[in-house]
Chains A and B, each alone.
Chain A
């Protein structure tokens, strides 16, 4: 057990690295790609929705914008999507900062509605800006140069790399004063402002960061599918999935969104395969979501770790406490270190 606690991240990474060589059919590479893609995007969404508590339902707007920018750059300028995506995602993040500057004057359900409206505006624009987007039929872009039976694997490793980057960013933010301010805002935004946290700036920055990896994901996805159209690129369900995964795994935790993606993406595939219908998937995830919200409002990860904690250390402080205590006590005491790995 002790061994697992210490090394599980490395073990998980090795498993993920080996996965495409063990399961060689393109289907698995494709499934693996989507698991990692959604893990990355949910991690990104969680920086805003989880840490700060501003739950955007319109993150698909950044997904679609990333997808279109990458596709257009590939067609018009001949840019390789895997190189251009991380850079074009910066543009999307800046757009998000600008939109956040407007939308983040609202909060609660007004903010949620503003984000949905934002998504609809993007979608309608994509449908109607035909000279650039080709409208409803959508855009195609050149296929990857790799041989077809091999073609999913580079995507898989590429997105695995960016998932690690996203996790690092999420972890780093949560550990920084910036992240502490975000979490404080989730508790009491007015009080945070009163004690010197520039809440407007924090929110807007967090919104931009959380748009970044979603836009990057959209860009990579557009190369992956090679054909994009507004209804799929600006599909509200893409954003809803990120939220479901985050909430299922553990809102506001580092690993929760990843866990959620690793459960929900294969489950979705299984359901689609078994019943061949998206509406059944929606019904099932909807039902699952209700169960999670009722019985495990903090998600799997937090519920399970709380449970373990309460059995082993009845008075252990909550998660945030530990991350802070870690910094303070990192050298001297390590008595709480037992179930720490599950949080980090």
Chain B
């Protein structure tokens, strides 16, 4: 297997807090990799570093072998790396369908100014909305959707950018068991279609069932990694979770 994403010796501090510390992580292409760790262990910060929201104090981030350190987030997205947010972020005043059209992988000036290519994309957007069961809400402003629908919309929308790799920040957080099941199936289907996943999740059941590789983060650095079974029985991991 090839390496899709590599985080090499990355550190980042906020004031007195060392949020990420000399972190080394690698995500194999085609995998569903889980990223777990106690609250405050730096998972979200790591996502923000990878997607260019913050730049690392030290270290390098490579996507498909090329460095993406210090690139603006839009460029990273164009490269094929998309993410969702722990707290769902959408364009609240825009409709579900418009929220689908905004994400974009690569644009030239012609597609920027030509409304013509909309039709094509609208068809794709409708297909994806159908896939997550939101077709009937396409003209509703995003803020009017329910919590779960908003999560689905955010997920569906980033797929419009045609990502090679998707990073999900707690996709099962706060949603009901039926929806969790649905999201898991969606992730698995997309994975079969070739999308690599890095998933932060607190729900261990989800992680164990979904992921083929799990990385454990503690205090901003990698504590352990391995198959879900190995992680479950790793004493250091149990220690970090149960606390001392």
Main secondary structure of the interface of A (DSSP, over half): helix
B113 at the interface (CB under 8 A from A): yes
Stretch at the interface among B13-21, B92-100, B173-181: B92-100
B242 at the interface (CB under 8 A from A): no
B30 at the interface (CB under 8 A from A): no
Whether B94 contacts A195 by the Cβ 8 Å rule is: no
**Within 8 Å CB of A328, what residues of B?**
97, 119, 122, 126
Whether A188 contacts B104 by the Cβ 8 Å rule is: no
A177 at the interface (CB under 8 A from B): yes
* Chain A 162-182 per-residue mask, 1 if CB under 8 angstroms from chain B, else 0: 000000000010011110110
Whether B140 contacts A317 by the Cβ 8 Å rule is: yes
Whether A324 contacts B101 by the Cβ 8 Å rule is: yes
* Chain B 121-156 per-residue mask, 1 if CB under 8 angstroms from chain A, else 0: 010001000000000001111000000000000000
Whether A325 contacts B139 by the Cβ 8 Å rule is: yes
Whether A184 contacts B139 by the Cβ 8 Å rule is: no
Name the contact of B102 in the complex, choosing from A190, A195, A325, A327 (C-beta under 8 A): A195
Whether A177 contacts B98 by the Cβ 8 Å rule is: no
Whether A197 contacts B97 by the Cβ 8 Å rule is: no
Docked Cα-Cα span, A314 to B94, in Å, equals 18
Whether A195 contacts B141 by the Cβ 8 Å rule is: no
**Within 8 Å CB of A183, what residues of B?**
91, 94, 98
**Within 8 Å CB of A322, what residues of B?**
139
**Within 8 Å CB of B77, what residues of A?**
194-196
**Within 8 Å CB of B119, what residues of A?**
327-328
Name the contact of B139 in the complex, choosing from A199, A321, A327 (C-beta under 8 A): A321
Give the size category of A's interface with B: 20 to 34
Cβ of B46 to closest chain A Cβ, rounded Å: 15
B222 at the interface (CB under 8 A from A): no
Contacts A318-B141, A328-B122; A187 near B114 (Cβ below 8 A): no
Whether B91 contacts A196 by the Cβ 8 Å rule is: no
Contacts A188-B89, A193-B73, A193-B74; A176 near B103 (Cβ below 8 A): no
Most buried by B among A180, A194, A197, A320: A194
List which A2-53 residues lie within 8 A (CB) of chain B.
none
B72 at the interface (CB under 8 A from A): yes
Docked Cα-Cα span, A195 to B160, in Å, equals 9
Docked Cα-Cα span, A181 to B94, in Å, equals 11
Contacts A194-B53, A197-B102, A328-B122; A178 near B73 (Cβ below 8 A): no
B164 at the interface (CB under 8 A from A): no
A200 at the interface (CB under 8 A from B): yes
**Within 8 Å CB of A200, what residues of B?**
72
Name the contact of B93 in the complex, choosing from A187, A191, A325 (C-beta under 8 A): A187
Whether B112 contacts A178 by the Cβ 8 Å rule is: yes
Docked Cα-Cα span, A91 to B95, in Å, equals 37
**Within 8 Å CB of A324, what residues of B?**
95, 97-98, 101, 122, 139
Name the contact of A318 in the complex, choosing from B85, B95, B101, B107 (C-beta under 8 A): B95
Docked Cα-Cα span, A192 to B98, in Å, equals 12
Whether B113 contacts A321 by the Cβ 8 Å rule is: no
**Within 8 Å CB of B97, what residues of A?**
321, 324-325, 328
Cβ of B71 to closest chain A Cβ, rounded Å: 11
Docked Cα-Cα span, A199 to B67, in Å, equals 22
**Within 8 Å CB of A177, what residues of B?**
101, 104, 107, 111-115, 117-118
Name the contact of A196 in the complex, choosing from B78, B93, B95, B117 (C-beta under 8 A): B78
Whether A176 contacts B112 by the Cβ 8 Å rule is: yes
A342 at the interface (CB under 8 A from B): no
Cβ of A327 to closest chain B Cβ, rounded Å: 5
B105 at the interface (CB under 8 A from A): yes
A277 at the interface (CB under 8 A from B): no
Whether B74 contacts A190 by the Cβ 8 Å rule is: no
Whether A184 contacts B53 by the Cβ 8 Å rule is: no
B157 at the interface (CB under 8 A from A): yes
**Within 8 Å CB of B117, what residues of A?**
177
Whether B72 contacts A198 by the Cβ 8 Å rule is: yes
Whether A195 contacts B98 by the Cβ 8 Å rule is: no
Cβ of A319 to closest chain B Cβ, rounded Å: 10
Name the contact of A317 in the complex, choosing from B90, B95, B157 (C-beta under 8 A): B95
Cβ of B165 to closest chain A Cβ, rounded Å: 14
Name the contact of B91 in the complex, choosing from A192, A317, A325 (C-beta under 8 A): A192
Whether A321 contacts B141 by the Cβ 8 Å rule is: yes
Cβ of B241 to closest chain A Cβ, rounded Å: 30
B51 at the interface (CB under 8 A from A): yes
Whether B72 contacts A187 by the Cβ 8 Å rule is: no
Task: Given A194-B77, A318-B141, output 11 extra A-B contacts at Cβ < 8 Å.
Answer: A176-B114, A177-B118, A178-B113, A180-B98, A195-B104, A195-B157, A196-B78, A196-B103, A317-B139, A320-B94, A327-B115
Which residues on A are within 8 Å of B, measured CB to CB?
172, 175-178, 180-181, 183-184, 186-188, 190-200, 317-318, 320-322, 324-325, 327-328
The 10 closest A-B pairs by CB, nearest first: A195-B103, A317-B139, A196-B77, A187-B91, A321-B95, A196-B104, A191-B89, A184-B102, A321-B139, A193-B73
| 16 sampled A-B residue pairs with Cβ under 8 A | A177-B111, A178-B112, A187-B94, A188-B89, A188-B90, A188-B92, A190-B89, A191-B90, A191-B91, A193-B73, A195-B157, A196-B103, A317-B140, A321-B97, A327-B115, A327-B122
